Amino acid sequence: MTAVVHPPAARRAPRAGRAPRMRRRLAPYVFVLPFVAVFVAFSVYPLFFTARLSFTDWRGTGAATWVGWDNYTYLLTNPAFWSSLGNSAVLWLLIVPVQIVLGILVAVLLNNAKLRLRGLYRVAFIVPFVTPLVAVAQIWVVLFDQRYGAVNAFLGLFGLPDTGWLTTSAWAKPTLALLFLWKTTGFIVIILLSGLQSINGSIYEAADLDGASRARQLWSITVPLLRRTIGFAVVLQTLAVFQMFAEPFVVTQGGPYNSTTTAGYYLYNHITRADLGTGAANSFLLVVLVMALSLLFVRLLRAKD
């Protein structure tokens, strides 16, 4: 970019009068105005409303009483709140590490231009991501049905007993995690691919000359260079897992025995009980947690520098 270009300011100066400069200063306000209007009306205003709500005992009708921090202390001392966080944490462990490892392996393989059927793989892996969740969640219910489902029928071929995938608390979480993994891993692969494509190939040639094995190169070169992309993917998925709501809503309704009552689903329980103040407080606790986790991951991945 060392081509001979006059500094833009110097070239503009003689021609640009006061009016264009004024317009340039005002333009961004005009550009963001429609967005800000919608944003304030349907995001910021409800957010402030929720904040105020979290300090009241309002149940949807009648007058609200100011209760201070009661809703927050109620939640923080309530085992059900902690167990909903625990459920989400277990789901996180079942999902995110698996997804990142699988994602890196697949992305590295797909990044090889000599791979046959590369286009087919790319399309096939992203198909789950474009399917409507409600439709897929119902297919999951049918597939994993204990008595009539295809999964148990298949395992039966090998003499394995029927498993209550969605009806026992031991299996409900892994089955739900599998749905989430199935649905979003393709998206993570594409994000990791974009990171891989910005790595300069010559660094691998040097490693080849040094006689480093492929596995060694993956661990010592690819993964460190992908750090920022991996961090982006981890933060994205952490947000998604802790907010997970529609999956348990359609597939398990939070059961059996609350084993799939995720942080997001627990929040919804307050809403169905019209316990709006507690629900609002729960939302904010969740936001703080998710923010803290995101910052932690960003930190951890940066610290390796």
Partner 1 sequence: MAANDRRTRPRIGSHAFLMLLLVAFLFPVAWALLSAFKPADDIVRSPLTFDFSAFTLDNYTAMFQDVPIGQGFVNTAVVLLFKGAATMFLAPLAAFAFAKYEWIGKNLVFGAVLITLMLPTIVLIIPLLLEMKELGWVNTYQALILPGAVDAFAIFWMRQVISAVPDELMDAARVDGCGEFAIFWRVVVPVIRPGLAGLGVLTVMNIYNDFVWPVVAASTERMATLQVVLSTLAQNITGNRIGADYAAVTGELLAASSVALVPLLVLFILLQRHFINGILAGSVKG
Please report, as residue ranges, which positions from 84 to 113 form the binding site for partner 1 (by CB under 8 A): 102, 105-106, 109, 111-113
Options 32-40, 79-87, 88-96, 169-177: segment touching partner 1 (CB under 8 A): 32-40
CA–CA distance, 288 with 274 (Å, rounded to integer) = 23
Which residues touch 279 (CB under 8 Å, ≥6 apart)?
A: 267, 270, 271
- Note whether 80 binds partner 1 by CB under 8 A: no
Smallest gap from Cβ 287 to partner 1, in A, equals 6
Residue 160 found at the interface with partner 1 (CB under 8 A): no
- Total site size for partner 1, rule CB under 8 A: 114
Are 105 and 188 spatial neighbours (Cβ–Cβ below 8 Å)? no
Subset of 182-211 contacting partner 1 (CB under 8 A)? 182, 186-187, 190-191, 193-198, 201, 204-205, 208
> How far is Cα 272 from Cα 276, in angstroms, rounded to an integer?
9
Q: How far is the CB of 164 from partner 1 (least distance, A)?
A: 13
Of the two residues 80 and 115, which places its CB atom closer to partner 1 in the complex?
Answer: 115
Taking the complex as a whole, the smallest distance from the CB of residue 49 to partner 1 amounts, in Å, to: 4
- Omega before 256 within 30 of 0, i.e. cis: yes
Is residue 133 within 8 Å of 246, Cβ to Cβ? yes
Q: Which amino acid is at 295?
A: L
Binds partner 1 (CB under 8 A): choice among 2, 18, 43, 272: 43
Site for partner 1 in 223-282 (CB under 8 A): 225-229, 231-232, 239, 242-243, 245-246, 249-250, 253, 263-264, 267-268, 271, 276, 279-280
Q: Where are the alpha helices (DSSP H) in 197-262?
A: 202-209, 214-217, 223-225, 227-243, 246-251
Among 64, 90, 141, 223, binds partner 1 (CB under 8 A): 141
Under rule CB under 8 A, residue 73 binds partner 1: no
Alpha-carbon radius of gyration of the chain: 25
Residue 62, SS3 per DSSP: coil
Distance in angstroms (rounded) separating the CA atoms of residues 284 and 271:
14
The piece of 37-45, 72-80, 82-90, 91-99 that touches partner 1 (CB under 8 A) is 37-45
